[in-house]
Amino acid sequence: MKFAHLADCHIGSWRDPKLKDTSTKAFSKAVDKCIKEKVDFMLIAGDLFNTSFPRLDNLKTVVTKFKQLKDLNIPVYIVPGSHDYSPSGKTILDVLEEAGLFINVFKGSAENGKLKLNFTLDKKTGTKITGILGKRGALEKKYYEKLILDNLENEKGYKIFLFHSGIDELKPKEMENIISQPLSLLPKGFDYYAGGHVHIVEDKQIEDYGRIVYPGPLFPNSFAELEKLERGGFYIVEDDKIRWEPIQIYNTLKIPVDCNHKTPEKIKDEILDQIKDKELNNTVVLIRLQGVLESGKPSDIDFREIFTRIYEKSAYFVMKSSHAVKTKEFEEIKTDARNVEDIESFLIKEHLGQIKLENLTLEKEEELVRNLMKTLSTERQEGETVPDFEKRAREEASRILELDL
């Protein structure tokens, strides 16, 4: 038996025109590799798309690749992730599943307020697969708390559990801020736990459970992830052997700059010196600056010239992170969050409790704010008229706020 385990494809994640197709390219490359490897089936542990209604061009590529897999009789089993659902619970995944392109294994029934999951059988290999979706703010935790375990733990045969959640005990140091749940919520006795959501590459054998695996994203999803992971990838599991297959779309070059006791001019020279002898073809260049400037402000660093010189060396894309650079006058940083989601989460939490409404608990308020933000950041879809878009946005907001707008 041979299968592939992907997660966090986040198709459509990068907004910059130069990177916006990268996740789609990474997905296509991963599928091609799976076909070449002749896997029996493929698992996707959530967050196939970055939004519940992805752009049509991305969708078209993804559908084409799924069709290819279907034609080659390579079934795909998925659970939706926290990015796959709209606040109203809608997802394009439903449409794709209806079209027979993959199977969502979050199947079962509600029994007296408890969740009873059913297994999906992979006919070719006899593997039994089930799993639980991921929701925004780790709200899937309630599902685990209500999960009936007997049928899952007593089932015989090779079993796979797909999940899209962080695990407290396994979280790496730099991800302490992500919401996660205890290991004890997972049903015991599965042969393979196919994880997603946490963008780390990890394969651990855990006593009483089994192999718990996170393949990481197919392509890093942010500046910090590009720095840490450099590239994405997925796992191929063949019998008891497991290997991580990297997906190389671009090379990466990291330029860390310690700004302490340096002038903006010196920093520029230092960066240019670091790229002097480098080949930058097809390379994403990441410049991270931190420290306290000897004089001047971060905006005094001549990034225009730095970027021009890097692009002259045929770099594909240049990014900089200078939020950790301080001037001597202003040394205070209000948040150490590293990405947009962290900052959003920080700000929401900071302002919770200011709306005083009956029955509005802090948890409900946070969920409401997140849902509203998500709805209001929805983009107009291709072919959608402005009035239709406005109507859709109003309806979504109306439903979330439980008001007639």
> CB neighbours of 214 closer than 8 A, spacing ≥ 6?
7, 195, 196, 198, 200, 201, 202, 203
Interaction with another protein in 201-240: which residues (CB under 8 A)? Answer: 204
Judged by phi (left if over 0) then psi (alpha if -120 to 50, else beta), residue 296 lies in left
The closest of 51, 61, 140, 138 to 91, measured between CA atoms, is: 51
Cα(110)–Cα(97) distance, rounded to whole angstroms? 21
The first and second tokens of residue 330, run together, are: 């202003």
Smallest gap from Cβ 63 to another protein, in A, equals: 20
Smallest gap from Cβ 144 to another protein, in A, equals: 8
48 binding another protein? (CB under 8 A): no
Nearer to another protein, 24 or 181 (CB): 181
15 binding another protein? (CB under 8 A): no
Cα(309)–Cα(274) distance, rounded to whole angstroms? 12
72 binding another protein? (CB under 8 A): no
Interaction with another protein in 121-140: which residues (CB under 8 A)? Answer: 133
335 binding another protein? (CB under 8 A): no
Residue 83 catalytic?
Answer: yes
Terminal-to-terminal C-alpha distance of the chain: 54
Helices (H), 37-91: 56-71
Kindly indicate which of the ranges 18-26, 49-57, 142-150, 319-327 contains the residues binding another protein, using the contact rule CB under 8 A.
142-150
Nearer to another protein, 90 or 278 (CB): 90
The answer to whether 183 and 161 are in contact (CB under 8 A) is no
Smallest gap from Cβ 340 to another protein, in A, equals: 21
Binding another protein (rule: CB under 8 A), the pick from 149, 224, 347, 397 is 149
Smallest gap from Cβ 181 to another protein, in A, equals: 8
The string of DSSP codes covering 323-378 is: EEEE-SS----S----SHHHHHHHHHHHHTT-S--TT--HHHHHHHHHHHHHHHTP
Interaction with another protein in 90-119: which residues (CB under 8 A)? Answer: 104, 106-110, 112-113, 115
Smallest gap from Cβ 108 to another protein, in A, equals: 6
Question: Looking at 83, 164, 197, 199, which residue is catalytic?
Answer: 83
Count of residues near another protein by CB under 8 A: 32
| Three-state secondary-structure class, residue 210 | strand
Place of tokens 């890093």: 220
182 binding another protein? (CB under 8 A): yes
Cα radius of gyration rounded to whole Å, the chain: 23
Catalog residues that contact another protein under the rule CB under 8 A.
80, 85, 89, 104, 106-110, 112-113, 115, 133, 142-146, 149, 168-173, 175-176, 182-185, 204
- Residues acting as catalytic residues: 83
